[in-house]
């Protein structure tokens, strides 16, 4: 499995502009009809479809993208395959998580938390918004291809800040009904739980630890999850651990022992038993047979 990072983008056939923190590409002429192989996304991916349509698959979920659609994807997800129409084109921005975190701290925007907490989100931009995002891409590319100046980096950061606010406003507009509705206490607890569960900067906890985090009993916590999702809290936790483990196992640079530690297991044996119980296969079997 390939990795999608700054180096991979710079060395690809895509017409791209990049520095050590982010990359932009916006010309799919040479790869439009090619099935893209599995790739582990090592950063935030932000794409705007400017022409045509595409059928893509991310972590076994399929998405249909059409002109005007904007998709955001958080790091450590697997881009599995795609089918692009003959007239497909898009503006794509790849950003290192560390760089986005620095900008977030600079302006006190909670980009990373909100973007980490979601898996993938597709928004639709009207022509006015599309024109504005095209201008952002043009300015970013222009700065990247220009000679270094004393304030070049500051200009790039400010462009990211402005684009981030516009993206946030777009998300707010699309989710206005959800954002303005009154949530019950149970729904708020579930939202907080999902936020913690999908945040890679926080370790996985067990049901009792999550319940203590929200100042409720573990029994009540499990009832909330079961009533609102149809799954127990323990099942939701286990599914997320397995999903993250499968992604990690497809990365051959990490040993199974290292992955076990990353997932919070005391040792490799404990991780192996858990993985086999949940999937029917050992971690080594999963790693060796990609069809699993």
C-alpha closest to that of 80 among 55, 44, 114: 55
Residue/partner pairs of 4-7 with CB below 8 Å, 24 or more apart: 4/39, 4/40, 4/41, 4/42, 4/43, 4/45, 4/79, 4/94, 5/42, 5/43, 5/94, 6/43, 6/94, 6/96
pLDDT value for 187 = 78
| pLDDT confidence bin for 270, thresholds 50/70/90 | very high
CB 17, CB 145: distance < 8 Å = yes
User: Does this chain's domain 2-178 share its CATH topology with 185-288?
Assistant: no
Q: If you search the block for the tokens 């090592």, which residue do you land on?
A: 42
Query: Is pLDDT larger for residue 142 or for residue 289?
Result: 142
Q: Is the pTM for the entire model greater than 0.85?
A: no
| pLDDT confidence bin for 291, thresholds 50/70/90 | low
Q: Is 19 a residue whose pLDDT tops 70?
A: yes
Q: What is the pLDDT of residues 162-181, one digit of tens each?
A: 888 888 788 777 665 444 44
C-alpha closest to that of 17 among 92, 111, 114: 92
**Kindly report the CA angle at 45 between 40 and 50, in degrees rounded to 5?**
125
Mean pLDDT of the chain, nearest integer: 79
pLDDT value for 21 = 86
Written as six digits, the tokens of 182 are 């009154």
Q: Residues 185-288: name the CATH superfamily.
A: Homeodomain-like (1.10.10.60)
| pLDDT confidence bin for 183, thresholds 50/70/90 | low
User: Quick check: helix, strand or coil at residue 52?
Assistant: coil
**Eight-state DSSP code of residue 201:** T
The residues, any chain, with a CB within 8 Å of residue 83's CB and separated by 6 or more, are: 35, 54, 55, 56
Query: Is pLDDT larger for residue 284 or for residue 37?
Result: 284
Q: What is the pLDDT of residues 79-117, one digit of tens each?
A: 776 777 888 888 888 888 778 777 765 554 444 434 444
Written as six digits, the tokens of 17 are 């502009």
Round to whole Å and give the CA distance between 3 and 42. 7
Please give the helix or strand (H or E) that residue 238 lies within, else none: helix 233-249
User: Quick check: helix, strand or coil at residue 5?
Assistant: coil
pLDDT value for 176 = 53
pLDDT value for 6 = 65
Q: What is the pLDDT of residues 23-46, one digit of tens each?
A: 888 776 655 545 556 777 777 888
Where are the domains positioned within the chain? 2-178, 185-288
Query: Is pLDDT larger for residue 86 or for residue 286?
Result: 286
Query: How many residues are listed for the chain in this entry?
Result: 292
CATH of segment(s) 2-178: 2.60.120.280
Q: What is the pLDDT of residues 192-250, one digit of tens each?
A: 888 788 777 778 889 999 999 888 899 999 888 888 888 889 999 998 899 888 878 87
Round to whole Å and give the CA distance between 285 and 291. 10
**Eight-state DSSP code of residue 253:** T
Beta strands in 85-190 (DSSP E): 89-95, 120-124
C-alpha closest to that of 43 among 80, 9, 73, 12: 73
| pLDDT confidence bin for 11, thresholds 50/70/90 | low
Q: Is 276 a residue whose pLDDT tops 90?
A: yes
| pLDDT confidence bin for 12, thresholds 50/70/90 | low
Region 145-165: what's the mean pLDDT?
87
State how far the alpha carbon of 170 is from the alpha carbons of 15, 167, 209, in Å. Answer: 27, 5, 35
Residue 231: CB atoms within 10 Å: 14
Query: Is pLDDT larger for residue 182 or for residue 139?
Result: 139
Which range, 157-166, 223-232, 276-285, has the best average confidence (pLDDT)? 276-285
């Amino acid at each position: 499995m390939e990795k999608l990072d700054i180096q991979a983008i710079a060395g690809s056939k895509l017409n791209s502009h990049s520095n050590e923190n982010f990359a932009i590409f916006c010309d799919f002429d040479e790869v439009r009809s090619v099935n893209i192989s599995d790739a582990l996304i090592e950063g935030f991916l932000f794409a705007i479809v400017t022409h045509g349509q595409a059928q893509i698959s991310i972590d076994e979920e399929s998405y249909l993208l059409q002109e005007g659609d904007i998709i955001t994807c958080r790091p450590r997800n697997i881009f599995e395959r795609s089918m692009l129409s003959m007239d497909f084109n898009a503006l794509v921005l790849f950003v290192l998580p560390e760089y986005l975190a620095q900008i977030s701290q600079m302006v006190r925007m909670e980009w990373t938390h909100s973007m980490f907490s979601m898996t993938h989100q597709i928004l639709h931009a009207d022509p006015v918004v599309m024109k504005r995002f095209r201008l952002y891409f043009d300015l970013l590319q222009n700065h990247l291809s220009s000679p270094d100046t004393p304030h070049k980096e500051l200009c790039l950061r400010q462009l990211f800040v402005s684009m981030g606010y516009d993206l946030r406003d777009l998300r707010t507009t699309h989710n206005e009904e959800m954002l303005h509705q009154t949530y019950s206490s149970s729904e708020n607890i579930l939202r907080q739980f999902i936020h913690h569960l999908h945040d890679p900067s926080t370790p996985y906890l067990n049901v009792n630890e999550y319940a203590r985090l929200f100042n409720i009993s573990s029994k009540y916590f499990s009832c909330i999850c079961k009533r609102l999702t149809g799954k127990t809290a323990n099942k939701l936790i286990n599914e997320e651990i397995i999903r993250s483990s499968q992604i990690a196992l497809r990365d051959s640079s990490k040993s199974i022992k290292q992955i076990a530690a990353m997932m919070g297991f005391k040792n490799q044996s404990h991780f192996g038993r858990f993985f086999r119980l949940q999937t029917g296969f050992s971690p080594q079997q999963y790693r060796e047979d990609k069809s699993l």
